[in-house]
Structure 1
Amino acid sequence: MKQFMELLPIMIPLIAIEAGLLLYGLIHVLTHKNYKCGNRLIWVLVVCLFSIVGPILYIILGKEDSASRDDDFE
């Protein structure tokens, strides 16, 4: 129990970062229909299954730039 209490100040920010990335990634994947590569199902699985790495991969590899989404506004 003492070891857990010593790690708690490190774990709380990591859990908060993970939750924030997960929420951001899922909300973005589910509200947009265009991706640089892959499709919605693949990105939902990547974001959900790969902890902190999944949302970061989505931001780097899957999230389409807003400048290239001009065709959505027609």
Structure 2
Amino acid sequence: MNFEAFSRFIPYLIPVIILQLVLLVVALLDLARRERTRGPKIIWLVVIIAVNLLGPIIYLLFGREEE
């Protein structure tokens, strides 16, 4: 792929990258602040970091325990 073809995708990639970073930060901060989660925190940490865009979403939907 040459730079010209790649540069056409940059406007579409930037919002996805920003969304990924925001979700990552929100999920990591929430995980650090919560005393209890559904499952071990270390597993949630791996899921959040390793599963890119879906990891933080999965944690925010299913990993947080009610307060």
Settle same-fold status: TM greater than 0.5. yes
1:4 corresponds in structure 2 to 6
**1:1-74 mapped onto 2 (5 Å cutoff):** 1-35=3-37, 37-65=38-66, 69=67
- Where do 5+ consecutive residues of structure 1 fail to align? 70-74
Structure 2 runs not aligned, ≥5 long: none
Contact 1:46 1:55 in 2 (8 A): yes
Runs of 4+ in 1 over 2 A off after TM superposition: none
Question: 1:2 offset after TM fit, Å?
Answer: 0.6
CA contact 1:33–1:40 (8 Å) conserved in 2: no
Cα offset, 1:60, TM superposition: 1.1
CA deviations on 1:11-51 (whole Å, 9 max, x unpaired) are 0000000000000011110111111x211111111000000
How far apart are the structure 2 equivalents of 1:53 and 1:34?
Answer: 21
TM-score scaled to structure 1, two decimals? 0.82
Aligned length: 65
CA distance, structure 1, for counterparts of residue 19 and residue 61 of structure 2: 17
Equivalent residue letter for 2:48: V
Distance 1:30 1:42 in 2: 13
CA RMSD of aligned residues (A): 0.9
